[in-house]
A and B are shown apart, each in its own frame.
Chain A
Amino acid sequence: MSTYNVQTAMNPLPQPAGAAADSLLIQLRNLEKCYQSKAGFTYVLRQITLDIAEGEFVTVMGPSGAGKSTLLGILGLYDHKWDGEFFLRGHPVHGLKPKDRSALNKQFVGFVFQQFHLLDDLTVAENLDIPLSYRNIPKPERQGMVADLLDRFGIVAKKDLYPAQLSGGQQQLVAVARAIIAKPVLLLADEPTGNLHTDQGWEIMELFKKLNQAGTAVVQVTHNEAWAAYGRRVIRLKDGWMENRA
């Protein structure tokens, strides 16, 4: 348990089911996602069965519309409408209420978007502070954590700038910092280098590598084979089906 996760302490989550859950971070069993329309059901993900271990670095690849981002949304606990079984650190997500899923998200997950999605009207420091404030962490503690991260990422000088005043690479750096400030065990990245030029892309990927080496599991979606190679294995999706495991 995170030392500062008060909400989790106040509302303890269901405990992992069984000792086997201890070594696995994610277990998906026959996970399916579909949309209903007048024409019938349109499946986006089909019978996904997948295990991801603690501290693993996984790359998800596939053509547009294959279901990569949808899978990432489900892993990030942002999408609640799917079928199948999903265990996160042994917690049966499929059996949890939306509120408990949100609590799990806050406790375990960090997310990096292709478009950075920094809040335009907040400074760099405030953008980093926001996830902590949503976790009800007292301000003095937050200030310390933000200062520490600014220092670690070498962006102390930028702390009072607004996102529009940063380059794309700097914005993504802040976005990654923001994603990990709450010390997640799982970092999800949806085409994190998609909007960056190559040098900036390398920089971000090296950062992911360091984070992964420090123990954070990373699941990234990318179209770039070079970035994909940072993952210890690649999962390929096509038309919602998982093709193979590399």
Chain B
Amino acid sequence: MKTLRTVWLKFGSLWRRSGLRGEIDEELRFHLEQRTAENVAAGMSPENAARLARKCFGNFQTVREQCREASRASFGEACWQDARFGARMLRKSPGFAVAAVLTLALGIGANTAIFSIMKAVLLRSLPYRDPERLVTVCESNLKRGYAQILVTPANLRQWQKQNSVFEQLGGEIYESYNLTGTEQPEHLHAACTTPNFFSIFGVPPLLGRTFVAADQPPGGERVAVLSYGLWKRRFAGDRDVIGKIITLSGENFTIVGIMPASFKIFPTPVFGLPTGRVDPELWVPYSGSMDERDAHFFVGFGRLKPGVQLSAAQSEMSAIAARLDQESGIGHGWDASVQPLHEQVVGNSRSALRLLLGAVGFVLLIACANVANLSLARSIARGREFAIRSALGAGRGRLIRQRLVESTLLGILGGSLGVMLARASLAGLLALQPANLPRLDEVQLDGSVLGFTLVVSVLAGLLFGLAPALHSSTPDFHGALKETGAGASTGHRPQRARSFLVVAEVALAMVLLVGAGLMINSFARLARVNPGFEPERLITFDASLPWPGYVDDAKRMRLIAQLRARVQALPGVTSAATAYGLPFGTMLNATCGVLIEGRSTSEPRERISSAWRTVSPGYFKTMGVPVRAGRAFSERLDTQNSGPTVVINETFARKFFPGDNPLGKRIQVFTVSTNWSEIIGVIQDVKLTGLDAPTAPEIYQPDTQQGPWMFSLVVRSRLPSRQIESEVRTEAAAIEKDLPLFNVRTMGEAISASVASQRFTMTLISLFATLALILSAVGIYGVVSYSVSQRTREIGIRMALGAPRRSVLGLVLQEGLLLATLGVGIGLAGSLALTRFMASQLFGVSATDPATFLVVTALVVSMTIVSSYLPARRAAKVDPLLTLRYE
């Protein structure tokens, strides 16, 4: 404690001159008083005691001035002197300096890169006014398995009227428009919002205005607010665009405002929203009815009143939701869920990023251990220098400080290079396209990231410098100064410290490797999941029909059938189909209520919930989905004039018709039409939203009986995807010039995008684990190699006495293996303790998977054998005669 206080006082003295004067005076007075007291205790009179004390002490004023002068200058100046000397020593040992700086740069650079991502994603406030008051407000129904589900318009309106906790409460609906009336029609992701939508976020427009209550139809003119990106891209940033008319899916809208570039709505994990990333490029006021009670399609956003706690808002909203549930007569457990917006946006990313930060932390520790090892070796080589310094009057603290200043200098150099490495590697990291990580476009190496790097660099310097500093602070005076060479006798202490560091390195690397092994194992299992269809050679297109020309249901169905037929006829196309809601697609995940004939009444509370899709005849064949029972849809049998038909999946059949044949049974599907439909087939389960997502009950209706507004075209073809894309676009334009196809990609790309976050985490952890393995290998090599150089004479004697080379080889390998065994043992225990924290990141593999642990152990042991073999081989080649003659 005293040492810490001294260091603190000395640091403080660099800035606190006036305080320092008082401290010196107080200290000197204390010594005088002590001396006087001692003299009195020895029997002197107080006067004589004080006089003798002053005499022994010398001139008080002179001593005080000397102390002040010395204290002011000495500490900072000595640090500067140490830094200059440290820099000179590094210049004179370029090999050591380069190795240490590179090692540190790898560790610090990795930390800087991951921290910059973490800061952008997790730590930065959302770009809204008072973002901590923003929440999402959704419905929830735990009985039906919905923690959060979109809100019905009727409920949203009631919530707006009845709540007292929100300053503003509103919502938006994902919408899709075609920008037409221009040479090149373009599909746009959009959002229909309540009029107060922008007020909730508190972001003013860059140009014009946002929505007002009068904008909401009926009555109001149709208006639109553009995103900054759309304004720049389609209107070249023209400031006179305000007031101009644009045509969206055949309807005219007046542009009233442009939002700033920073304004964006981040995706939230609410059930019902598209699984893919869709960023709205324009906003229009919601024009539908606010009386709709069954359809859930609003994402609710709220701004809490100042001082209102989240728990209070949740309580009130739950009470309102319960009341509305009772009043509606449904009474089926509907509740409200109020969540902080920031948590909603970044919540899913947190565990993965924490895992990565932990991994790079381990890499840095390993790097520090490696550099500490190098520095310890140098401490031994510099034993004479420190013995001389000690002989010249350097105290232990001063020697420690000199080494720490040197190591901090190395740390800062490593940090500087690390920043450059981080800058270079960030582009590569972001190219891995971790789609579910929000705000990646905001990742930058700004002041706070650089501050973090500086702190990490200094701490790393202190950390790896500590062991060498302690070693250098107690030089062996006799041993070091009696040696004529530069080196000095080393003793066992530093070698033990170096061995300890290597054991720690191996243990840390082991934990990282087990983590990486589990992630790789998990990802491999995820990639092997059967999606329920054959994704090879499938290319998909999304389309949204222009509104006014296709109000007629039959017309929509005709257009879709026509497009399908023309594409089907293209050379090289094996088959083509259409659907609303492709697996891994970007359309809303539609659900519907279902009644089973004979089992339930028409009461809404009796409805069961199911995923719902509309597909064309030939869809299952095109997708390669096996029909398990009955038949698939047919152009001939399932028409608008025939009886309504549905196909269900195996999970639906298993769950609602256990031990019964569902074929021929009738169900009522609550979508646009609510006619009773006959179950004509059962298909194999298909993964709709993710390879790791559980399969829900699914219902398929034919799009020959009701035409969707939005649909996807899926084509199985032998042709290259770029060629088929071009030909399909030509066919679509030939049928309807205002029908842009968007979101064109192969099914393989869609599946790949769905596992991008897992791939991102796995790739990075594997990268860091590899780095850790290499650093550990270097560490083991260094220690064993040094040990061999120290034992050359012993090895020479052994060989002179007849030891075979194999025995010498074994002797050295044994040393490396002993270190590795200790490291592996500790690492295994650490892995067992730590990998459970990554259980949520794993799929199909336990956090204590024995096979992974076994493989990683074998890998580390193999690495040790390889690292120890080179010095062992050198030892086995020792010429006993030469060695002994030299000695």
Give CA–CA (A49, B78) in the complex, Å.
41
Q: Closest approach, in angstroms, between the C-beta of A203 and any C-beta of chain B?
A: 22
Contact of A12 with B393 at beta-carbon distance under 8 Å, contacts A4-B66, A136-B74 already known: no
Give CA–CA (A41, B525) in the complex, Å.
69
Interface size for A (C-beta < 8 A) is 39
Q: Is A133 an interface residue (CB 8 A)?
A: yes
Listed stretches A105-113, A152-160, A215-223; interface member: A105-113
Q: Is B73 an interface residue (CB 8 A)?
A: yes
B31 touches A12 (CB 8 A): yes
Contact of A9 with B69 at beta-carbon distance under 8 Å, contacts A1-B58, A130-B389, A134-B395 already known: no
B27 touches A10 (CB 8 A): yes
Q: Is B70 an interface residue (CB 8 A)?
A: yes
Query: Digit string of B20-38 for contact with A (CB within 8 Å is 1, else 0)?
Result: 0000000110010001000
Q: Is A79 an interface residue (CB 8 A)?
A: yes
Kindly report which residue of chain B lies nearest to residue A178, judged by CB atoms. Answer: B392
Q: Closest approach, in angstroms, between the C-beta of A15 and any C-beta of chain B?
A: 6
B481 touches A134 (CB 8 A): no
Q: Is A137 an interface residue (CB 8 A)?
A: yes
Q: Is B477 an interface residue (CB 8 A)?
A: yes
A119 touches B385 (CB 8 A): yes
B478 touches A10 (CB 8 A): no
Complex interface: chain B residues within 8 A of A12 (CB): 31, 35, 56-57
A121 touches B89 (CB 8 A): yes
Q: Is B547 an interface residue (CB 8 A)?
A: no
Cβ-defined partner of B395 (8 Å) among A1, A69, A102, A137: A102
A6 touches B70 (CB 8 A): yes
Q: Is B88 an interface residue (CB 8 A)?
A: yes
Contact of A9 with B392 at beta-carbon distance under 8 Å, contacts A136-B74, A138-B70 already known: no
Give CA–CA (A131, B393) in the complex, Å.
6
Complex interface: chain B residues within 8 A of A15 (CB): 56
Complex interface: chain B residues within 8 A of A102 (CB): 393, 395
Complex interface: chain B residues within 8 A of A182 (CB): 393
B393 touches A79 (CB 8 A): no
Cβ-defined partner of B398 (8 Å) among A105, A113, A134: A134
A133 touches B78 (CB 8 A): yes
A130 touches B69 (CB 8 A): no
B392 touches A130 (CB 8 A): yes
B391 touches A111 (CB 8 A): yes
Complex interface: chain A residues within 8 A of B385 (CB): 119-121
Kindly report which residue of chain B lies nearest to residue A190, judged by CB atoms. Answer: B481
B67 touches A10 (CB 8 A): yes
Complex interface: chain A residues within 8 A of B486 (CB): 120
Contact of A122 with B85 at beta-carbon distance under 8 Å, contacts A117-B384, A138-B69, A138-B73 already known: yes
Q: Closest approach, in angstroms, between the C-beta of B88 and any C-beta of chain A?
A: 6
B27 touches A119 (CB 8 A): no
Q: Closest approach, in angstroms, between the C-beta of B94 and any C-beta of chain A?
A: 14
Contact of A134 with B56 at beta-carbon distance under 8 Å, contacts A6-B70, A9-B67, A115-B481 already known: no
Q: Could you say which of A9, A99, A106 has the most chain B C-beta atoms within 10 Å of its C-beta?
A: A9
Give CA–CA (A70, B479) in the complex, Å.
12
Give CA–CA (A182, B393) in the complex, Å.
10
Cβ-defined partner of A135 (8 Å) among B72, B388, B393: B393
Q: Is B735 an interface residue (CB 8 A)?
A: no
Q: Closest approach, in angstroms, between the C-beta of A200 and any C-beta of chain B?
A: 18
Q: Could you say which of B35, B62, B77, B92 has the most chain A C-beta atoms within 10 Å of its C-beta?
A: B77
Give CA–CA (A130, B482) in the complex, Å.
21
Give CA–CA (A119, B382) in the complex, Å.
10
A119 touches B389 (CB 8 A): yes
Q: Closest approach, in angstroms, between the C-beta of A3 and any C-beta of chain B?
A: 7
Q: Is B99 an interface residue (CB 8 A)?
A: no
Contact of A113 with B73 at beta-carbon distance under 8 Å, contacts A122-B85, A134-B394 already known: no
Kindly report which residue of chain A lies nearest to residue B394, judged by CB atoms. Answer: A134
Give CA–CA (A191, B389) in the complex, Å.
20
A119 touches B67 (CB 8 A): no
Complex interface: chain B residues within 8 A of A139 (CB): 73, 77
Q: Closest approach, in angstroms, between the C-beta of A1 and any C-beta of chain B?
A: 6
Within A25-54, which residues are at the interface with B (CB < 8 Å)?
none
Within B411-469, which residues are at the interface with A (CB < 8 Å)?
none
B484 touches A78 (CB 8 A): no
B70 touches A137 (CB 8 A): yes
Q: Could you say which of A6, A131, A135, A136 has the most chain B C-beta atoms within 10 Å of its C-beta?
A: A136
B74 touches A138 (CB 8 A): yes
Q: Is B730 an interface residue (CB 8 A)?
A: no
Complex interface: chain A residues within 8 A of B78 (CB): 133
Q: Closest approach, in angstroms, between the C-beta of B27 and any C-beta of chain A?
A: 6
Within A64-105, which residues are at the interface with B (CB < 8 Å)?
69-70, 73, 76, 78-79, 99, 102, 105
Q: Closest approach, in angstroms, between the C-beta of A107 and any C-beta of chain B?
A: 9
Q: Is B859 an interface residue (CB 8 A)?
A: no
Q: Is B81 an interface residue (CB 8 A)?
A: yes
Give CA–CA (A114, B584) in the complex, Å.
82
Cβ-defined partner of A3 (8 Å) among B66, B74, B481: B66
Q: Is B854 an interface residue (CB 8 A)?
A: no
Contact of A115 with B484 at beta-carbon distance under 8 Å, contacts A121-B88, A134-B398, A138-B73 already known: yes
Q: Closest approach, in angstroms, between the C-beta of A122 and any C-beta of chain B?
A: 7
B392 touches A6 (CB 8 A): no
Q: Is B63 an interface residue (CB 8 A)?
A: yes
Cβ-defined partner of A73 (8 Å) among B62, B88, B392, B478: B478
Q: Closest approach, in angstroms, between the C-beta of B34 and any C-beta of chain A?
A: 9
Kindly report which residue of chain B lies nearest to residue A134, judged by CB atoms. Answer: B393
Q: Closest approach, in angstroms, between the C-beta of B650 and any C-beta of chain A?
A: 78
Give CA–CA (A94, B394) in the complex, Å.
21
A106 touches B477 (CB 8 A): no
B66 touches A6 (CB 8 A): yes
Q: Closest approach, in angstroms, between the C-beta of A27 and any C-beta of chain B?
A: 20
Give CA–CA (A117, B392) in the complex, Å.
10
Kindly report which residue of chain B lies nearest to residue A107, judged by CB atoms. Answer: B393
Give CA–CA (A3, B31) in the complex, Å.
18
Complex interface: chain B residues within 8 A of A99 (CB): 395
Query: Digit string of A1-24 for contact with B (CB within 8 Å is 1, else 0)?
Result: 101101001111001000000000
Q: Could you say which of B73, B88, B388, B481 has the most chain A C-beta atoms within 10 Å of its C-beta?
A: B388
Kindly report which residue of chain A lies nearest to residue B32, judged by CB atoms. Answer: A12
Give CA–CA (A139, B75) in the complex, Å.
11
Complex interface: chain B residues within 8 A of A4 (CB): 66, 70
Kindly report which residue of chain B lies nearest to residue A116, judged by CB atoms. Answer: B388
Complex interface: chain A residues within 8 A of B57 (CB): 12
Besides A6-B71, A10-B67, 10 other A-B contacts (C-beta < 8 A): A4-B70, A6-B67, A12-B56, A78-B477, A102-B393, A118-B388, A119-B388, A138-B72, A178-B392, A182-B393
Could you give 13 example pairs across A and B, Cβ below 8 Å? A6-B67, A6-B71, A12-B56, A69-B478, A76-B391, A78-B390, A102-B393, A102-B395, A120-B486, A121-B92, A133-B81, A134-B398, A138-B73
Shortest Cβ-Cβ A-B pairs, 7 listed: A134-B393, A6-B70, A136-B74, A106-B393, A138-B73, A131-B392, A9-B63
Which residues of A approach B to under 8 Å, CB–CB? 1, 3-4, 6, 9-12, 15, 69-70, 73, 76, 78-79, 99, 102, 105-106, 111, 113, 115, 117-122, 130-131, 133-139, 178, 182
